[in-house]
Structure 1
Amino acid sequence: MLSPSTTPRQGIWLPIFAGLCASLVSIGLARFAYTPLIPSLIQAHWFSASDVVYLGAANLVGYLIGALIGHPLARRTSNKTALRLMMLAATLAFFACAFPLSVSWFFGWRLLSGIAGGAIMVLVAATVLPHVPASRKGLASGAIFLGIGLGIAGSGTIVPPLLSLGLQQTWLGLGVLALILTAVSWFGWPSAARHTTTTLTDATPTSINPKVYLLFAQYALMAAGLVPAMVFLVDYVARGLGAGQHVGGLIWVMYGLGAILGPVSYGFLADRLGAQMSIRLVLVVQAIALGLLSICSAFAALALLAVILGSFPPGIVPLGLARVHELIPEHHLQQIAWSRATVSFATFQAIAGFAYSALFNASGGHHGLMFVIAAGAIVVALLLELAVRLPARSDEKVCAVATIT
């Protein structure tokens, strides 16, 4: 494998493009294109409303499974082979979902698409970023996960024209798009570094920064904080505020615009301010935005908040990855830590998905309550770091006094 210093500059962008295609197919489209399809799935009587919600959660559960099996799958084959197989699996799921044979059939394929997304999430950065110079890693990871944002935006622009052809044709069209992206990225993957069996628990105590575990907790809380806007924003605007489906769709497009801007801008922040400071800044902004969302009803305000909130789900990925790289200098341990962080995120995202759905039904469709709870989760993620830092500062002061005396 070529090191970043010996990799030709023009050769860096082909692996990054392959990573972008992978995140676009397996998460951007496989997860987020489902949201604008929900009304059509119900209106076409493919499934009942309760089944549609249940099927949407299948992707989140699959994402958790994929995050767990990503590295074992790559060890049995290679990163390159595993990534190609997962893109093919997500593509096949689109075609299979064009035929609503049964709820269990649809659930299985939605589950598989989630597995593909989780596996790709833990593998794609470890495959591509070793070929990128250190000074560009934040921006490069943002470009890789830009695919998620493109998928969110595409779900608001590509899906409606496809739906005019029919629901089955929409799934087939998405499948064709995924197949094209899989084909054009097929030979873009670099050869990955040889796998190592080292785990975090195998490492010596001095080799692992304890702040890594704080990051795991923060990343999990971020997952809990992003779910309500990601799932219920359109319904909140259309039905909760009575603005109608058209206005809800416009707000979703703004959310998609934020999702496009998020990965690259957050990656740029990580390169310039450092990942830790960037995470703090982003958490403060997101908590404020979620709090305002629960009380705002003006279109201009909602559109601005949608852009800010839309930047969060794909944007925190390069931020979290950059923080792992800050805390752990060893490349092989970075891979394991990022896999653990993704599992933490996926677990809380799946739990939050079911919990918010249950809360939504129990509260009679109270959107504002969910946004406030989400803001609380983001605040806890910020306070958690401050709570951990305070004892450390106290110890430092004690040591300093002892030294002086």
Structure 2
Amino acid sequence: MNASIQRAPWLPIWAGLCASLVGIGLARFAYTPLIPALINAHWFASSAVVYLGAANLAGYLVGALIGRPLAKRWSGATVLRGMMVLVSLTFLACAWPLSVGWFFAWRMLSGVAGGVIMVLVASVILPHVSATRRGLASGAIFLGLGLGVAASASLVPWLLEKGLQQTWLGLAALALLLTFSSWAGWPGEHGPQPAAPGLPQPAVSPAILVLFGQYALMATALVAPMMFLVDYVSRGLGAGSHAGAAMWGLYGLGAIVGPVLYGLLADHLGARAGIRLVLLAQLAALGALLVSHDLRVLGAAALLIGSFPPGIVPLALARVHQLVEGHARQSATWSRATVSFASFQAIAGYAYSALFAATDGHYGALFGVAAGAVVLALLVDMLLKERQAMSLIANSSAR
């Protein structure tokens, strides 16, 4: 093991946290509070601003597809450093709204970097972590997602007081600072590589297919509250923008707690049991959005729902490690899972927007679809149990 890692075992974790914070936490979530400012400053028309927001999700899917091929050509650590620099450049470029095409290209590149980071970051770091601590370690790595949500609720509004261009420049400076602070923290080049060429593709067992299906359904479920919770509280319930901001703050607090909490669940309960428990909790929280108008109840639901988007990542990753042996096979399976997640997340974003327009702004329909996706994810897990039982019966009969 790398001597620097022996001296400072937290350095790779810090590098991973910075990568997820820059590539996904800031690159994606910091855009949400910028939407009103972009419209009010007349940088782009309101329809174009929404379209530009979707560019990051489309780029994320591309990044999830090309992450492993990039790691075959260069080392994982080199690619991750490059992606963090790329995100910093996208923030810098977005400070000048030269055209919709210019802005779209840079927003899409930020999504590409985020997808590559999501595919590679755990594969580069976790082989250097004890197996009994990997759930907690992956939770710490993906804490960056939650910190990005929190920053979008606190840092971005503060930067916006300085001006819209200054906000983009501030985000670029922060991303560069995090990039350079983590530069030496990545594991050495001679360590296990995230994608060794020439190895066979991992076998796709029923359990892995179930995980892919669950992960896709979880992506579908999390998009609705992520996109519409604040608008629902502020406009749908008439509670005003301050109440909406408070809900987003609680959502961000949950996002900070989620990765580490869910990682501990994976370590102590097992990944599959942890996923079941989390899905049941999310179903209860979405139910609260459907039946209650009490802001205190909705605040508790926002806290719980906010833990879900970043928290399910270490749980799903732990499930991959549970089902697949060998570092290269685990990396390939995780890449496929990320592609499944990214695909359904992008599709869900457009589908929810279309449903919102078709129902004349009926928030209950959106949250109902999200709850239905959670129910399906639980049913898919039960289907695997049934298939395993039938397989055991068949084996017994054969004997």
Task: Report the TM-score, using the length of structure 1 for normalisation.
Answer: 0.94
| CA positional deviation for 1:209 | 3.9
2:43 pairs with 1:71: no
Counterpart of 1:220? 216
DSSP 3-state at the match of 2:301: helix
> Greater CA deviation, 190-199 or 45-54?
190-199
Structure 1 residue 367, shift from structure 2 partner: 1.3
Q: Which has the larger displacement, 256-265 or 376-385?
A: 376-385
CA contact (8 A) 1:140 1:267 kept: yes
Q: Which residue of 2 aligns with 1:355?
A: 351
SS of 2:184's equivalent?
A: coil
Q: Residue type matched to 1:220 in 2?
A: A
1:298 aligns with one of 291, 294, 297: 294
Alignment of 1:317-336 (within 5 A): 317-336=313-332
Q: 1:193 maps to what in 2?
A: 192
Could you tell me how far apart the structure 2 residues matched to 1:47 and 1:296 are? 36
Instruction: Name the SS of the counterpart of 1:61 in structure 2.
Output: helix
CA distance in 2, matches of 1:199, 1:276: 27
Q: Is the 8 A contact 1:223 1:349 kept in 2?
A: yes
Residue aligning to 1:378? 374
8 Å Cα contact 2:5/2:187 also seen in 1: no
Q: Any residues of structure 2 matched to 1:84-233 within 5 Å, and which?
A: 84-191=81-188, 192-194=191-193, 195-198=195-198, 201=201, 203=202, 209-233=205-229
For the Cα contact (< 8 Å) 1:20–1:145, is it kept in 2?
yes
Cα distance between partner residues in 2 of 1:154 and 1:346: 22
Q: Which of residues 14, 29, 34 in structure 1 aligns to 2:31?
A: 34
Specify which of 239, 243, 248 is matched with residue 243 of structure 1. 239
Q: Secondary structure at the match of 1:165?
A: coil
Provide the rounded CA distance (Å) in 1 between the counterparts of 2:294 and 2:68. Answer: 46
SS of residue matched to 2:374? helix
Q: Would the aligned equivalents of 1:200 and 1:336 in 2 still touch at CA under 8 Å?
A: no
Counterpart CA distance in 2 for 1:43 and 1:31 is 20
Range that drifts further, 251-260 or 282-291: 282-291
Q: 1:335 to 1:198 in 2, by over 3 A?
A: farther
Q: Does 1:276 align with 2:275?
A: no
Q: What aligned pairs does 1:336-347 form with structure 2 within 5 A after superposition?
A: 336-347=332-343
Let me know the Cα RMSD of the aligned residues. 1.6
**C-alpha contact (below 8 Å) 1:98/1:172 kept by paired residues:** yes
For 1:10 and 1:260, locate their aligned partners in 2 and report how far apart those are by CA, in whole Å.
27
Q: Secondary structure at the match of 1:56?
A: helix
**Unaligned ranges ≥5, structure 1:** none
> What is the alpha-carbon distance in structure 1 between the residues aligned to residue 274 and residue 7 of structure 2?
29
Identity of aligned residues (%): 60
For 2:320 and 2:152, how far apart are their aligned partners in 1?
30
- What displacement does 1:9 show? 5.5
Distance 1:44 1:163 in 2: 11
Separation in structure 1 between the aligned mates of residue 93 and residue 211 of structure 2, nearest angstrom: 37
Instruction: Give the counterpart letter for 1:253 in structure 2.
Output: G
Letter of the 1:45 partner, please give it.
H
Q: Distance in 2 between matches of 1:380 and 1:198?
A: 37
Q: Which amino acid aligns with 1:50?
A: S
**Secondary structure of the corresponding residue to residue 351 of structure 2:** helix
Q: Secondary structure at the match of 1:46?
A: coil
Q: Which residue matches 1:311?
A: 307
Question: For residues 8-38 of structure 1, what are the alpha-carbon distances to aligned partners after superposition, in whole Å with 9 as ceiling and x for unaligned?
Answer: 6653210000000000011001100111111
Q: CA deviation at 1:198?
A: 4.8
User: Could you give the per-residue CA deviations for residues 111-137 of structure 1, whole angstroms, max 9, x where no partner exists?
Assistant: 000000000000000111011001110
SS in 1 for 2:43: coil
Which sits farther off after the overlay, 9-18 or 163-172?
Answer: 9-18
Q: Secondary structure at 1:190's aligned position in 2?
A: coil
Q: Which residue identity is paired with 2:196?
A: T
Looking at structure 2, the residues matched to 9 and 368 of structure 1 have their Cα atoms a distance apart, in angstroms, of: 52
Say which SS state the counterpart of residue 294 (structure 1) adopts. Answer: helix
Quote the offset at 1:359 in angstroms: 1.0
Contact kept in structure 2, 1:42 and 1:49, CA below 8 Å: yes
Aligned AA (2:159): L
For residue 324 of structure 1, report the CA deviation from its aligned partner. Answer: 0.3
Contact 2:233/2:239, CA 8 A, preserved across alignment: yes
Deviation at 1:85, TM superposition (A): 0.7
| Cα deviation 1:98-123 (Å, max 9, x = unaligned) | 11111111111110000000000000
Q: Per the alignment, in what secondary structure is the counterpart of residue 185 of structure 2?
A: coil
Q: Please tell me whether the aligned partners of residues 228 and 371 of structure 1 are also in contact (alpha carbons under 8 angstroms).
A: yes
CA distance in 2, matches of 1:22, 1:7: 19
Question: Residues of 1 paired with 2:318 and 2:198: CA distance?
Answer: 21
> 5+ residue gaps in structure 2?
none
Q: Which residue of 1 aligns with 2:45?
A: 48
SS in 1 for 2:9: helix
Q: Deviations over 1:222-269 (max 9, x none)?
A: 100100111111111111111111110010000000000000000000
Q: Give, as a single letter, the amino acid of the residue that structure 2 aligns with 1:197.
A: P
Q: 1:200 to 1:316 in 2, by over 3 A?
A: farther
